[in-house]
Amino acid sequence: MLDFKKILGCLGLTIGGSLCLFALLFTVLSALFIEMLPLPLRAKGWEWMYGELGATEGVPGAGEFPGEYEGPDYCPSGRPVNGPISAYFLDPRYEAYFGFPHYGVDFGVPEGTPVRATLSGKVVWAGRRGGYGLLVAIKNGDFLVLYGHFSRIDVGVGQVVRRGQVLGLSGNTGLSTGPHVHYEIRCRGKAVNPLGDMPCN
């Protein structure tokens, strides 16, 4: 697994700067190469670069997101997009293909479809994160909601958003077979079925 903190940290050094730039260039080229691999190999590539979270989407307890927020509309409700479901929560087809469980629901929509928040809360992640591609994570109380594979993100970390607000546009980034939105809900760190009853209902 690559140590990105060391790679980025060494850019501040005056000695060995050229070596650090080479390491950064290698990292970028590696990511581009992984994106061109067939999907099963792409999963292994993300695992090599990012560790467990790079190859898996939503393993409970993996990759904690910092920041706390308590506010209105604390329970996820509705869907982030209107579109057919292409993969269900714990879909056996997904696990058979990729080799690990699917802890969310995938909605197949054209690239560029507006993705709306289903939970009011604070944005605790907005950017690229392993197999999720471009990811937005929103936290409110016990709930953390993840939206994956954006083509464009329109919110930033620390921003408070309201349910129904557009977070960005759907895409095909990360570990993805085609344009879709990966929608995942965790309650107290445990993944729950986004199509089922929420613990807060």
CA 195-173-171 angle, to 5 degrees, is 65
- CATH class, 85-192 region: mainly beta
Percent of the chain with pLDDT over 70: 62
Per-residue pLDDT band for 148 (boundaries 50, 70, 90) equals very high
Mean pLDDT of 175-180: 87
Mean pLDDT of 47-61: 40
Per-residue pLDDT band for 133 (boundaries 50, 70, 90) equals very high
* Whether the predicted pLDDT of 82 surpasses 80: yes
Q: Strands 134-140 and 166-170: what pairing?
A: unpaired
pTM for this model (two decimals): 0.69
Average pLDDT, the chain: 75
CA distance 151 to 174: 10
Q: Which residue has the higher pLDDT, 35 or 10?
A: 35
Q: Which residue has the higher pLDDT, 93 or 153?
A: 153
Q: How far is CA 146 from the centre of its chain?
A: 6
pLDDT confidence of residue 149: 94
Report which DSSP code applies to 137. E
Per-residue pLDDT band for 151 (boundaries 50, 70, 90) equals very high
* Whether the predicted pLDDT of 4 surpasses 50: no
Per-residue pLDDT band for 2 (boundaries 50, 70, 90) equals very low
* Whether the predicted pLDDT of 114 surpasses 90: yes
What phi-psi label fits residue 174: left (phi over 0), alpha (psi between -120 and 50 degrees) or beta?
Answer: left
Per-residue pLDDT band for 7 (boundaries 50, 70, 90) equals very low
* Whether the predicted pLDDT of 50 surpasses 60: no
